[in-house]
Amino acid sequence: MPVSYKARRRLSLLILLVGLPAYIVAAVTVVNWLERPSLWVELGVYVVLGIVWALPFKFVFKGIGQADPDKPDE
């Protein structure tokens, strides 16, 4: 069953306001476990983790910036 546009907007807002800060804390914790690696390793870890967090939520964010397709034309 496809998720409605309104539900996807609410879910994307929840992900950005709650999930993303939690993911940032988790990413910083992972890098701290590595005991301050070199600058390039640290940058690589942050870039990979920065891309990986969005992949599972791609379907939620797709089309959110567009007009509501469920809204009837006036």
Residue 24 in tokens: 């940032």
CA distance 33 to 17: 25
CA distance 67 to 49: 30
Q: What is the pLDDT of residue 74?
A: 65
Q: What is the pLDDT of residue 29?
A: 87
Q: What is the pLDDT of residue 18?
A: 92
* pLDDT tens, residue order, the chain (74 aa): 677 888 888 988 998 899 889 988 988 888 888 787 788 988 888 888 888 888 888 888 887 877 777 777 66
Q: What is the pLDDT of residue 17?
A: 93
